[in-house]
Structure 1
Amino acid sequence: MLLNKKISVWYFIREIRSQILFISVFALSVALLDLLPGFRKISLPLNIPALLGTAVSLLLAFRTSQSYERWWEARIVWGAIVNDSRTFTRLVIQFLPDGEDQKIKEFAERQIIWTYALGESLRKQPFSEKVQEYLDTRGINASNIPNTLLDAHSKQVKEMASSKVLSDFQQMQLNDTIGRLCDSMGKCERLKNTVFPRSYSILLHILIYVFAAILPFGLDDSQLLVEIAVTILIPVMFIAIEKTSIIMQDPFENTPVDTPVTSLAQTIEINIKQMTGEQHVPAKKENPLYYEM
């Protein structure tokens, strides 16, 4: 996630450099083509490229809005995960009787590992050493590790309810919180697996290139440098906006504009360990970069 610091402009330029090069060559070729005697006679009213440019702008506005909505939904879901992780730990501490410190520690550690495992699985990364060590120690091997860890939560709650350590009301409260965590996990998986329609990008690209093709024929040929600059600049701006929306539409792709799942997992770990009275609570280091993951 981008922070309120100096943003690296070169990151965005690197992301769209091929598109900038292609649209620049395309626009320059069309602008020079307009200078040939056979094409010089062709003149379009400026209203035509202006109308097409307006249509592209509206489509880009919709695309950017939808992409930001996906990114913001992911951030809201992870905000709920932070809150529910704290709530779950607080309920466990409150409901378990004195002398059950080991069980509290088991719940707390499992919840911490769940947050890291969920973020890493959404980004399709290999599990970190912390998560892998926990899984190996307990012999956990499943296709969906975060869901398996929630199942372990539910199983332990059921066992404690059967042995009368928890009342029916307490069991219901804990299961309700586990259910909310499961809902959040499902929302993240939906955002990860639902692809933005490719046809929309193709339509936008076609309109942008058509706009770049007809724009020189609506400009005054007497100002060659201005015509070439405008023919390149406006389509490049459209391409840059469209590329920005593409980067933002997938919030779990391990990029600087991602939802900061690792940073949020670290926050959850610190909070839970403080709540359970752990002696060794990791300090969250200040991030020197313009983004956090």
Structure 2
Amino acid sequence: MDPMSRSNDHYADVQGRPLRYSFWAGALQIRGAVTLRVLGDVISFGVLSALVVLASRYAEHRFDIHVGVTVGPFEAAGTVLGLLLVLRSNAGYDRWWEARKLWGGIVNQSRNLASSALCYGPDDEAWRTQFIRWAAAFPHVMRSSLRGRRSLPEVAVLLGEAEADRIASADHMPDVVAVELARMLREARDRGMDPMAFYQAEHQRGLLVDHLGGCERILATPLARSSAIQVRRFILLFLSSLPFALLHEFQADPDMSFMDRALGSYDWLIPLYVMLVSYPLLSLDRIGMELQNPFDTRRIDHLPIDDICSTIERNLLGMLLGDPSGHGPHPAALGTLGPNETHIS
């Protein structure tokens, strides 16, 4: 199933189709979870706690030094740490959700711009086709710009290799498309486009640039690094010292030998407890980091911008061909339109 089909199925579910929900499938699935990305750190804290247990029991047996602290302070510290991590993950989610709203605006403004151009623009097939292709290329160029990529295969299909290369060579690629759309709107005005319709279309074009600026603001302004460092140091101190509190809870019989204490008591449970506590703490910290950049495909929860851009392209080409469903054919079926061509290939 292609990405667009998966996207349409998702929207159908949201609109009321019964969902096949399984708690166990959701709880145990690996895809979309941060488990594999924090597993190494969880195991590391388990190994560290095992070394602490062995060292403390050896010190008790060899030097009669008892290591351990009461668990009370850890209960309070754990509560504070949990709140800090929730705040951090919420801050990341706010960025993710803001980016999603901005891309929702890009979808709406692209459709509005195309509608205004087709309904009020010049009755010229070449102008209409070229304008829609440039409008459909804009989201693809924005996506590549946000991801720091210069490859524009979708734009090459829509506009031709020469235009794609010209856009890719620009310092800020979306500016090339925005200027071209503005130039074509000015041409439409000069050819008799209704002034109010021109202002409305120009407003929609400006909103596209505004939404892009909002995405670039999210990309260029990560969460405060000092906050992340302090939270992770808090996690490190908490999990590194937690075995000492558990040692206090699992006091061994002083008459037992060192090996009996290491193997015959409940000390082996301490690394498991530490790993159990570290998993949610490290997962929340990782989630907060993953959500910081919603455009990067290396992030687990990156926005489905590829599907969004494909949806915009299909909708706009569908408008051009007069398809009321808004699902036009692949642009390759229409051919490639050069900047100086006056017909549909």
TM range (shorter): 0.7 to 0.9
Q: CA deviation at 1:97?
A: 4.2
Superposition deviation, residue 51 in structure 1: 1.2
- How far residue 47 of structure 1 moved from its aligned partner, in angstroms, is 1.3
Q: In the superposition, relative to structure 1, how do residues 53 and 39 fare at CA in structure 2: closer, same or farther (>3 Å)? A: farther
Q: Which residue does 2:35 correspond to in 1?
A: 13
Contact kept, 8 Å, 1:34 with 1:216, in 2: the verdict is no
Query: Are the equivalent residues in 1 in contact too, given 2:45–2:240 (CA < 8 A)?
Result: no
Whichever residue aligns with residue 226 of structure 1, its letter is L
**For 1:65-76, what aligned pairs fall within 5 Å after superposition?**
65-76=90-101
When residues 198 and 18 of structure 1 are mapped into structure 2, their CA distance, relative to the original with a 3 A threshold, is farther
Native 8 Å contact 1:33 1:39 kept in 2: no
- Matched-pair contact (CA < 8 Å) for 2:47–2:271: no
Match of 1:131 in 2: 155
Structure 2: distance between partners of 1:31 and 1:235: 17
User: Would the alpha carbon gap of residues 14 and 195 (structure 1) be closer, same or farther in structure 2, given more than 3 Å must change?
Assistant: same
Q: Deviations over 1:107-160 (max 9, x none)?
A: 110011111111122112332323246364234441111121011111111122
Report the RMSD for the aligned CA atoms in angstroms.
2.6
Q: 1:94, 1:106 → 2: CA distance?
A: 15
The residue number in structure 2 matching 1:159 is 187
Alpha-carbon distance in 2 for matches of 1:27, 1:195 = 33
* Residue 271 of structure 1 pairs with residue 292 of structure 2: no
Cα distance in 1 between the residues matched to 2:179 and 2:109: 16
Measured after TM superposition, the shift of residue 242 of structure 1 is 0.7
If you compute each CA radius of gyration, which structure gives the higher value, 1 or 2? 2
CA contact (8 A) 1:56 1:208 kept: yes
| TM-score calculated relative to the size of structure 1 | 0.86
Q: Which residue of 2 aligns with 1:232?
A: 275
Residue of structure 2 in register with 1:221 after alignment:
250
Identity within the alignment, %: 22
For residues 193-239 of structure 1, give each alpha carbon's deviation from its aligned partner in whole angstroms, at most 9, with x where no partner exists: 11222222211121112112322222212431332211222123211
Structure number with higher relative contact order (C-alpha < 8 Å, ≥ 6 residues apart):
1
Closer, same or farther in 2 for the Cα pair 1:203/1:174, shift >3 Å?
A: same
Contact in 1 for aligned 2:50/2:268 (Cα 8 Å): no
Would the aligned equivalents of 2:50 and 2:270 in 1 still touch at CA under 8 Å? no
How many pairs does the alignment contain?
281
C-alpha distance in 2 between matches for 1:75 and 1:40? 57
Q: Which moved more, 1:61-70 or 1:214-223?
A: 214-223
TM norm structure 2: 0.74
Name whichever of 126-135 and 150-159 sits farther off.
126-135
Structure 2 match to 1:113: 137
